[in-house]
Structure formats: C-alpha cells, structure tokens
Amino acid sequence: MMTDTPAHPGLISLQGIGKRYQLAGQELTILNDVCLSIASGDSCGILGASGSGKSTLLNILGLLDLPNCGQYRFAGHDIFSASPDELAAIRNQQIGFVFQSFNLLPRLSALDNVALPLSYRGVSRHESVEQALRMLEQVGLAERAHHRPADLSGGQRQRVAIARALVGKPSVILADEPTGNLDSTTAQEIMDLLLGLNREQQVTLIIVTHDPHIAERLERKILVRNGVVHEAGRL
C-alpha cells in the first residue's frame, strides 16, 4: 500500500515547525523554524549531538508528538487537522518504526510482534500471521518465529523489529539509532538490510544517528544543532 499523493512534491514537508516544552515554569525551545522536505525513496540521516532536538524531530516526523506551530503535511494529510485516530492510522499504514532499544513486546513471540501492526488495520489473525512469517523469512529469522525476544540476540531482535516495521508495507521507515545497541559487525548487517530495502523497495529511510560512518552511507545528511536544522551537501 503505497501513498496516493501525487500532488505534493515531497512525501514529507515541514514548514516553520517549532516545538516548545513547558518545564518547571520555564519555556524550553527544542525546535525552531524547521523547514524540511523529504521525497519518496530518499535516504536521510538526521545527525546531531544529544540534546540537539533530533529525537524530538524524529518524534514529530513519526507523528508521535505534535509540533506547536508550523505546517506539516505527511503523504497529503495535514497533520494539524488530523484526529488522533487518523494519526494512528497514518502511523499504522505509512510509517515503520525501528528503535534503538528494539522495543519488542516481551510477552509476545517474534512472530506475534511482527504481526502486531496488522492487527490494528483489521487483518484477521490467520492472514496477519502468514504475512508476518513471510516478513521474518525476508530478514532471515523464519526459524526463530516462535522465540520470545528475550531468547534472541541483539541483532536478531533488531531484525525482528525491522520485520515489524516493514510488515505493513510503509512508505517511510523511521529509525532511531538502529545500530546503537549492536556490535559493529551486526550493525553493518542491519545497515545493509535497511539500505537494501531503500534501494530495492523504494522505502523512504530516515535514520537518526550520531555515527558518521552510518551517515556516510545515506544520500542526505540533516544536521540538527540547538533546535535548528541544516542540510549538508547532497552526495
């Protein structure tokens, strides 16, 4: 299920996005006048020091957090006028999340973890399990389908998380330090997997990272510094 928004140049378009927090009576500006446009099929790295606001930017991009001001269109939907249910549906159908700490549900098997997003779009249990199994095969973990996350290695868990992000055929994958908890060999494998998906299936890839080696492999580099966004020269 790909996006149906030919009218807009980019899949994601942010105009003048600002995000402020009220903390202990003091107003903190996290993001200030962010303008960003990401086209379908791009691969972007969001780089920045910790506390620079890059995670907040990712949360806003992933519709987990709402900005205070600006304009945000995602696949043709105006985010400010969407209801929470519509935002949930967009997350479910357009966005796949990959987290640094994997964020698998410990009580569910790998298979059930991968099948979970499908359950929120009305797919029957039988069908969602079939699709999830196919997705696990694709990331090379079919024989571990019935293991709990606790019984899997870090690399395997991240593969399960990627399978879960992909099972809904999203147009964007948002990855927050996807290799942050992995050793360098495994990190390499995970990056190969993500970049392969971007190349072969034209899935838009947005990766938050502070690792310049990872950023090197991506087409675009977006730098966040003190809540302001710059784009480094495109490759």
Partner 1 sequence: MSLRVEQSLSQLLHEAFVSLRTLGKRSVLALLGIVIGSSSVVALINIGHNAAVDAAMIFKDMGTDTLVAQFPPKGNSSAPMRASLDLEAVRASVPGIAHIGALSVFGGPIVFHGRTANANLVGTTADIKDAMRLVVRDGRFLSPFDASETYAVIGDQLAQALGMPGDPLKPGDRIRINDYLFLVVGILHNQARAMLMPVQANESLFIPAEGMRRIYPTPQIGNVIIRATPGQDMERIARDASSALKRQLTDHDVDIQVPQQMIDGMTRQSRTFAYLLLALGAISLVGGGVGVMNVMLMNVSERRREIGIRMALGARQRDIRNLFLLEAVTLTAVGALCGAVLGMSAAWLYAWLSGWTFALAAAALPLGVGSTLLVGLFFGIYPAVSASRLQPVEALRDE
- Name which position in 31, 40, 47, 91 contacts partner 1 (CB under 8 A): 91
3-state secondary structure of 35: strand
Amino acid identity at 205: L
155: Cβ–Cβ under 8 A, 6 or more apart, which residues? 182, 183, 186, 189, 190
Amino acid identity at 118: L
Tokens, residue 144: 């571990």
Tell me how far apart the 2 most distant CA atoms of the chain are, in Å.
53
Query: Nearest distance from residue 194's CB to partner 1, in Å?
Result: 17
Which residue, 43 or 128, is less far from partner 1 as judged by CB?
Answer: 128
Which residue, 107 or 234, is less far from partner 1 as judged by CB?
Answer: 107
Q: Burial level of 6, CB count in 10 A (0-12/13-18/19+)?
A: exposed
Query: Nearest distance from residue 227's CB to partner 1, in Å?
Result: 17
Which residue, 72 or 221, is less far from partner 1 as judged by CB?
Answer: 72
- Name which position in 7, 22, 81, 85 contacts partner 1 (CB under 8 A): 85
Which residues between 109 and 148 bind partner 1 (CB under 8 A)? 112, 116-117, 119-126, 128
CA distance 193 to 47: 20
Query: Nearest distance from residue 122's CB to partner 1, in Å?
Result: 4
User: Which residues sit at the interface with partner 1, rule CB under 8 A?
Assistant: 1, 3-4, 59, 62, 64-65, 84-86, 88-94, 97, 103, 105, 107-108, 112, 116-117, 119-126, 128, 164, 168
